[in-house]
């Protein structure tokens, strides 16, 4: 066998092989999956706008007016009227001076992080951050301090020990795509202000879903004037494709000139941009959609609790059921599909070893009665797969060490390790063997755009979440070889 077939055989043996599934029709609350009608519980079309008549009509009209493609990079000939119009509306929506469009959420995170950090600088990254943030750190060649998930004490410790280092940056997801919890943004901003560090927040799963009028977790925390760059996506709640960075005018100019994915990529296609603009108008004119999404998420969580699942870690439209074993999670997914519910199984490397799960994603277009019925279906599937609902644990507590508070005394040796890492970097000319890093298991490889682990979701394609395997390195800050954060 070739190395390719051997690798595929290994993935099948581990229960980690993925495949795509065929969905017929638009991304609505119900779809036809591989010829079988199912309730869709794994799409990021949170507000149900991907197939809204006004959004579809706007995209079709734009294709007739501007054509299907933009033809070139924005800096060559790709900037069109529709791009500027959407950027102005996004800036107004976010309450920022400017907004800059990117081709995808992945490209936006890679571009922003690598533009604001570089060799010799330090990026502070939550261990459950998306893969695109991880890859932004790699492209920047910055030293990366991976702090424990949502642990501001660990972050504070890292910031104190990095005093005197150049160009420091804190970057975090707002809503974590595989866990459904929200970053402690107010505390992060306070630390950043104290240590004079920039803050970048990825609102991929927050825009349109949380905060006043769906403006995101940054607005919900009341820190919108304290964030240097807010990254939002057009491909989830806004039902289209693409992303944006909201910031002040000077930052927008810096990104326009230095963010490589912006400089070297063809501009987003006019139909997708026009569709996103129509969706944004709907979010602003019909705020009840956001309220309905929240009510539906609460209904699903309550239904799952009644069936014995512990979903206390989620506070948003993302509700994970942590199973543990990847094969068992896949079996549960398949059995649920047989009963008419498609809830994708998410497996490593998208989530940490031992935390394979079903990631449930609620839409505003779901009915509450069908969500309650889905909870009952999932409970039956769990029992048939040999998993007791009561055995589920909150996603944020499922990883080793996530529940323990940070103990500075236990990590004092890390500061010395930082100095050794810097000395080693100087001696080696800061040359990095990236292949060694990837072999360490931190290459998240999948991710950001949607939520799908493929095979059976993640079991089939994969949503990007963070790179679960990177947690092993969270106690070793400032070593780019071993501490690049998890992806997703």
Q: Where are the alpha helices (DSSP H) in 196-248?
A: 217-220
Residue 231 lies in a domain: yes
Residue 476 lies in a domain: no
Residue 174 lies in a domain: yes
On whether the CB atoms of residues 306 and 323 are closer than 8 A, the answer is no
Unique residue bearing structure tokens 């948003």: 316
In three-state form (DSSP H/G/I as H, E/B as E, the rest C), the secondary structure along 399-436 is: CCCCCCCCCHHHHCHHHHHHHHHHHHHHHCCCCCCHHH
Residue 262 lies in a domain: yes
Which residue from 106, 57, 85 is spatially nearest to 235, judged by alpha carbons? 106
pLDDT at 89 over 60: yes
On whether the CB atoms of residues 178 and 128 are closer than 8 A, the answer is yes
Give the active site residue among 236, 411, 458, 462: 236
Unique residue bearing structure tokens 């699942």: 309
pLDDT at 449 over 90: no
- Distance CA(413)–CA(256), nearest Å, equals 41
When mean pLDDT is compared across 245-249, 378-382, 447-451, the lowest value belongs to: 447-451
CATH of the domain at 112: 3.40.640.10
- Backbone φ, ψ for residue 67 (5° rounding): 90, 180
Give the active site residue among 205, 442, 452, 457: 205
Q: pTM here? A: 0.83
Which uninterrupted H or E stretch holds 174? Answer: none
pLDDT digits (tens, 9 = 90+) for 134-158: 999 999 999 999 999 999 999 999 9
Which residue from 29, 450, 443 is spatially nearest to 204, judged by alpha carbons? 450
Residue 85 lies in a domain: yes
Give the per-residue pLDDT at 71. 95
Number of domains forming the structure of the chain:
1
pLDDT at 300 over 90: yes
Arithmetic mean of pLDDT over the chain: 84
Active site residue 411: no
Residue 375 lies in a domain: no
Give the per-residue pLDDT at 17. 82
pLDDT at 21 over 90: no
DSSP character string of 116-131? H--TTEEEEEETT-BH
Helix axes 326-338, 368-384, angle to 10 degrees: 130
Domain region containing 222: 53-285
Q: Which residues touch 419 (CB under 8 Å, ≥6 apart)? A: none
Active site residue 312: no
Which residue from 321, 329, 369 is spatially nearest to 348, judged by alpha carbons? 329
Residue 163 lies in a domain: yes
pLDDT digits (tens, 9 = 90+) for 330-351: 999 999 999 999 999 999 988 9
Q: What are 42's two structure tokens?
A: 């794994």
Q: Buried b vs exposed e over 239-272: b needs ≥16 C-beta within 10 Å?
A: bbbbbbbbbeeebbebbbeebebbbebebbbbbb
pLDDT digits (tens, 9 = 90+) for 153-201: 999 999 999 877 776 899 999 999 999 999 999 999 999 999 999 999 9
Which residue from 446, 449, 450, 452 is spatially nearest to 468, judged by alpha carbons? 446
Beta carbons within 10 angstroms of residue 376's beta carbon: 15
pLDDT digits (tens, 9 = 90+) for 114-130: 999 988 899 999 999 99
pLDDT digits (tens, 9 = 90+) for 215-240: 999 999 999 999 999 999 999 999 99
Give the per-residue pLDDT at 132. 95
pLDDT at 292 over 90: yes
pLDDT at 64 over 90: yes
Residue 136 lies in a domain: yes
Give the active site residue among 43, 104, 177, 314: 177
Which residue from 5, 9, 16 is spatially nearest to 325, judged by alpha carbons? 16
Secondary structure (3-state) at 437: helix
Active site residue 205: yes
């Amino acid at each position: 066998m070739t190395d390719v077939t051997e690798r595929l055989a290994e993935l099948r043996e581990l229960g980690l092989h993925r495949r795509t599934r065929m969905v017929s029709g638009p991304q609505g609350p119900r779809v036809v999956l591989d010829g079988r009608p199912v309730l869709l519980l794994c799409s990021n079309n949170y507000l149900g706008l991907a197939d809204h008549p006004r959004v579809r009509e706007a995209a079709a009209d734009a294709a007739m007016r501007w054509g299907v493609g933009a033809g070139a990079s924005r800096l060559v000939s790709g900037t069109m009227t529709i791009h500027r119009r959407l950027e102005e509306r996004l800036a107004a929506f976010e309450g920022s001076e400017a907004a800059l469009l990117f081709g995808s959420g992945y490209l936006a995170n890679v571009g922003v992080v690598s533009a604001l950090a570089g060799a010799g600088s330090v990026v502070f990254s939550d261990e459950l951050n998306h893969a695109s943030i991880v890859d932004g750190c790699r492209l920047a060649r910055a030293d990366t301090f991976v702090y424990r998930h949502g642990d501001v004490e660990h972050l504070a410790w890292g910031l104190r020990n990095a005093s005197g280092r150049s160009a420091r940056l804190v970057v975090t997801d707002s809503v974590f795509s595989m866990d459904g919890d929200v970053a402690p943004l107010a505390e992060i901003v306070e630390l950043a202000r104290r240590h004079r560090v920039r803050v970048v927040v990825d609102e991929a799963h927050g825009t349109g879903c949380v905060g006043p009028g769906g403006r995101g977790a940054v607005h919900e925390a009341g820190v919108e004037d304290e964030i240097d760059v807010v990254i939002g996506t057009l491909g989830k709640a806004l039902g289209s494709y693409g992303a944006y960075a909201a910031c002040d005018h000077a930052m927008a100019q810096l990104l326009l000139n230095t963010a490589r994915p912006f400089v070297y990529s063809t501009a987003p296609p006019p139909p997708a941009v026009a569709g996103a603009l129509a969706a944004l108008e709907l979010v602003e004119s019909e705020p009840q959609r956001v309220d309905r999404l929240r009510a539906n998420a609460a209904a699903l969580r309550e239904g799952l609790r009644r069936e014995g699942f512990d979903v206390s870690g989620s506070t948003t439209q993302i509700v994970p059921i942590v199973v543990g074993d990847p094969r068992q999670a896949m079996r549960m997914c398949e059995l649920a599909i047989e009963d008419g519910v498609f809830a994708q199984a998410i497996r490593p490397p998208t989530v940490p070893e031992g935390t394979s799960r079903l990631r449930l994603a609620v839409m505003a277009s779901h009915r509450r009665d069908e969500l309650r019925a889905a909870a009952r279906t999932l409970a039956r599937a769990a029992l048939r797969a040999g998993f007791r609902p009561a055995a589920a644990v909150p996603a944020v507590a499922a990883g080793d060490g996530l529940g323990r508070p940070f103990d500075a005394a236990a990590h004092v040796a890390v500061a010395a390790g930082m100095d050794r890492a810097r000395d080693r970097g100087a001696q080696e000319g800061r040359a990095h063997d990236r292949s060694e890093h990837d072999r360490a298991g931190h290459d998240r490889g999948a991710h950001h755009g949607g939520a799908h682990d493929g095979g059976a979701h993640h079991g089939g394609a994969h949503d990007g979440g963070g790179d679960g395997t990177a947690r092993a390195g969270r106690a070793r800050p400032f070593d780019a070889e071993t501490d690049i954060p998890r992806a997703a």
